[in-house]
Structure 1
Amino acid sequence: MDSVTPDYHHEMLEKDYLACCGSIQFAKEMALASPFPSLDHAISAARDIWFNKVDVNGWLEAFSAHPQIGGSTSSHHTKSPASAQWSKVEQSTALATATSSSLQELSDWNTCYRQKFGFVFLICASGRSTAEILDELKKRYPNRPIVEFEIAAQEQMKVTELRLAKLFSTKGTVTESGKQFSAVIAEKAEEDRVGIIGGHLAASSEDAAGKVTQFPARTRPPITTHVLDVSRGSPAAGVDVCLQMWKGTQPCPMFGEADIGSWIFQGLSTTDKDGRSGQLMSIVDVLNPGIYRISFNTGKYCPNGFFPFVSIVFEIRESQKLEHFHVPLLLSPFSYSTYRGS
């Protein structure tokens, strides 16, 4: 790294940020503001730049970098290969829950939307099914253009925040609100996710050829969660959630021993208005047995609460690898509980 010139390093930063948001103006401003001491600082800067420094043309440029939801990302032009790959992963739930009729309906509504507003329908698709996306598109279609333009910008920021988290995790550790999540993402994990989507899309042609399809029968990831704020009696929206798997030298973590670097990142998401997290891992038939940990950034959600973050550790045995594991969090400012749901 010592041989890298400052100008070349600066150029690499711009490319990184362009993958997070397709506006060149945004990428340049983020590169100028770098480096950031934590993910929180990067997101704060990104919000300020996106809403206060990027002009209308920059917003439209970022919108155009997104493929149509339900369409082909491989044929869509984008300035960044990483952005194209992330789009595939973000749409994996939608594609896994789609049927030929729902995809056609989504395509028809996308066409109507673009004709009315002049840009692609934009929504943070991570963890959302085709039905959910289609319902949201129909709800937003009657909006006035100026209102819809602002909503699209807000959705773009949600996508940017998720991608910044992925970008930071590939560079090392992700730090949020002073708390550390071990977040090293292997390129193979991303390839597996994209492969699952490709298997789903190719299923019909393989059946016609008499081949055995290998895409998963599940319609959701084998590990899911939601957060309920019991002090308010309502879902907890906006809680950051991280899923990790134990890969230490010992078969399982030992009580009281340091475990930094032994937890391997699986996925990162934020709970929606119903308190449900987005997709935290690939949709696979067979789950790898082992020790898993779901961490919740409760300090960010409830700054005055007792718990800066909550981690739930659980084991999935060989005999359970085909089962579904729903591990919710019931939270109040001074207590929490959990259980295995369905």
Structure 2
Amino acid sequence: MAMEIGEDEWKVCCGSSEFAKLMEMSGPLTSEEAIWTARDTWFNLVNVTDWLEAFSAHPQIGNTPSPSINSDFARRSVSEQSTAFATTSASALQELADWNVRYKQKFGFIFIICASGRTHAEMLHELKERYENRPIVELEVAAMEQMKITELRIAKLYSDKARVVSETDSSSSPISTKPQEDRLRIIGGHLNVAAEAKSPKRSRPPITTHVLDVSCGAPATGVEVHLEVWSGTTGPSFGHGGGGVWSSVGTSVTDKDGRSGPLMDLVEALNPGTYRISFNTAKYCPGCFFPYVSIVFQVTESQKWEHFHVPLLLSPFSFTTYRGS
């Protein structure tokens, strides 16, 4: 069932004013549509300033919120952390506070983690590991954690609104079971991340990428990108072709934000197989050590409904990649 959600309610879900504004402008959305629209808005439409606004709306992990314009958001954060810190010792909290200070001094924003279901020890361990990241990598990791938090809050928002509908309907039609079914569908659809028989409708192609120039800490604009899929009776193997060829799927060029345009059609189910994304790094960075970079990855049958975001972090003498969201 599509629901009208106000800007203030969307801001409690995320913390970013621009995100909330764009979500409200999307009109009435079903719970499934809301999740996919939120992901597209967060990763493709808002900018880094909006990310930082959402980060700053959180109280520091383990702290109580100070009064703020978006205090409902901060109180929700504390509630989500409450189980993890219910039995934590004072010395353990102090260690976490000390590491939070070090983290903010290095990255410029507070440590963001989806605290639901996490213990204090797990979060401290994660903080120490992520502290070793390069700032440009950690920014993306924090953004992905923020989206996990946002998705859980959207699920709760729709669940709460469905409960109100249920209570209203039960007063006039006590035997109706539809509101209860709606609540179960909403909660099950968003809090259970196991593979489903049918995928929600996509809002972007299933394979995407972006390029960041870590030598200057900025998006890499104008990088030619090619997406290919392996065609053959056997998959490609190290050192030889394996009885097949690479077939072109699509090409694009990165924009001012370092993101490529669509590399393939907006399909629901991605064909399982081996894919390769190649970047014309020589044209972007003449004289760099790598004249081109190719990233090869596999998509299995069970993953065909998933999204594959495969970014490139580039410098003249090194590159890294990872699977994003």
TM-score normalized with structure 2 length: 0.52
Gaps of 5+ in 2: 168-174, 200-301, 303-325
Seen in structure 2, the aligned counterparts of structure 1 residues 72 and 297 have a Cα distance that, compared at 3 Å, is: closer
| C-alpha distance 169-116 of structure 1, shift in aligned 2 (>3 A) | same
Distance 1:46 1:65 in 2: 18
User: Which residue does the alignment assign to 2:111?
Assistant: 121
2:67 corresponds to 1:104: no
Give the residue type in structure 2 aligned to 1:54: V
**1:24 is matched with which residue?**
17
Q: Distance in 1 between matches of 2:11 and 2:105?
A: 27
Pair 48,264 (structure 1): closer, same or farther in 2 beyond 3 Å: closer
Deviation track 1:136-181 (CA, whole Å, cap 9, x = no partner) reads: 00110000000000000000000000111111122226xxxxxxxx
8 A Cα contact 1:98 1:129, kept in partner: no
Distance 1:269 1:138 in 2: 33
Residue 88 of structure 1 is aligned with which of 73, 78, 99? 78
- Residues 18, 27 of structure 1: 8 Å contact kept: yes
Deviations 1:172-206 (A, max 9, x none): 26xxxxxxxx9979xxxxxxxxxxxxxxxxxxxxx
Q: Is the 8 A contact 1:114 1:120 kept in 2?
A: yes
Q: Are residues 143 and 183 of structure 1, via their aligned partners in 2, closer, same or farther at CA, if it must alter by over 3 Å?
A: farther
Query: Which residue is equivalent to 2:313?
Result: none
Measured in 2, the distance between the counterparts of 1:60 and 1:126 equals 21
State how 1:275-314 maps to structure 2 within 5 Å.
Answer: 301-303=195-197
Q: CA deviation at 1:265?
A: 7.5
In structure 2, C-alpha distance between the alignment counterparts of 1:35 and 1:262, rounded to whole Å? 21
Alpha-carbon distance change, 20 to 117 in structure 1, aligned in 2, over 3 angstroms: same
User: What is the root-mean-square deviation in Å for CA atoms of aligned residues?
Assistant: 3.5
Structure 1 residue 264: deviation in Å? 12
The alpha-carbon deviation at position 97 of structure 1 amounts to 3.4
**1:285 alignment counterpart:** none
Who is 2:148 aligned against?
Answer: 158
Q: Output the CA distance in 2 between the equivalents of 1:22 and 1:138.
A: 25
Q: How has the CA–CA distance of structure 1 residues 47 and 93 changed in structure 2, closer, same or farther, with 3 Å as cutoff? A: same
Cα displacement string for residues 70-99 of structure 1 (whole angstroms, at most 9, x for unaligned residues): 1112x253x334312311221012211311
Amino acid at match of 1:16: E
Question: In the alignment, which of 28, 52, 59 is matched to residue 60 of structure 1?
Answer: 52
Give CA-to-partner distance per residue, 1:20-78, whole Å, 9 cap, x none: 11111101100000210x211001000000001101110111110010001112x253x
What amino acid is aligned across from residue 196 of structure 2 in structure 1? C
- State yes or no: 1:132 paired with 2:128: no
Structure 1: gaps of 5 or more residues:
1-8, 174-181, 186-256, 272-276, 278-295, 306-332, 334-342
Classify 1:149/1:270 alpha carbon distance in 2 versus 1 (closer, same or farther; 3 Å): farther
Percent identity over paired residues: 49
Question: Corresponding residue for 2:63?
Answer: 71
Please say which of residues 84-93 and 17-26 is displaced more in the overlay.
84-93
- Tell me how far apart the structure 1 counterparts of residues 189 and 129 of structure 2 sit (CA, whole Å): 22
TM-score of the pair, normalised by structure 1: 0.49
- Match status 1:141 vs 2:131: yes
Which one-letter code corresponds to 2:111 in the other structure?
A: F
Displaced runs of 4 or more, over 4 A: 182-185, 257-271
Identify the residue that residue 41 of structure 1 maps to in structure 2.
Answer: 33
Q: Distance in 2 between matches of 1:259 and 1:17?
A: 28
Distance 2:82 2:31 in 1: 25
Amino acid at match of 1:302: E
Q: Structure 1 residues 184, 104: CA separation in 2 closer, same or farther (over 3 Å shift)?
A: farther
C-alpha distance 34-303 of structure 1, shift in aligned 2 (>3 A): same
CA contact (8 A) 2:6 2:24 kept: yes
SS at match of 2:61: coil
Partner in structure 2 of residue 51 of structure 1: 43
Contact (CA 8 Å) 2:159, 2:187: kept in 1 or not? no
Q: Is the 8 A contact 1:162 1:269 kept in 2?
A: no
Tell me which amino acid in the other structure corresponds to 1:159: I
Deviates more, 1:95-104 or 1:121-130: 95-104
Aligned residues: 191
- Aligned residues of 2:51 and 2:143 also touching (Cα < 8 A): yes
Distance 1:42 1:93, change over 3 A: same
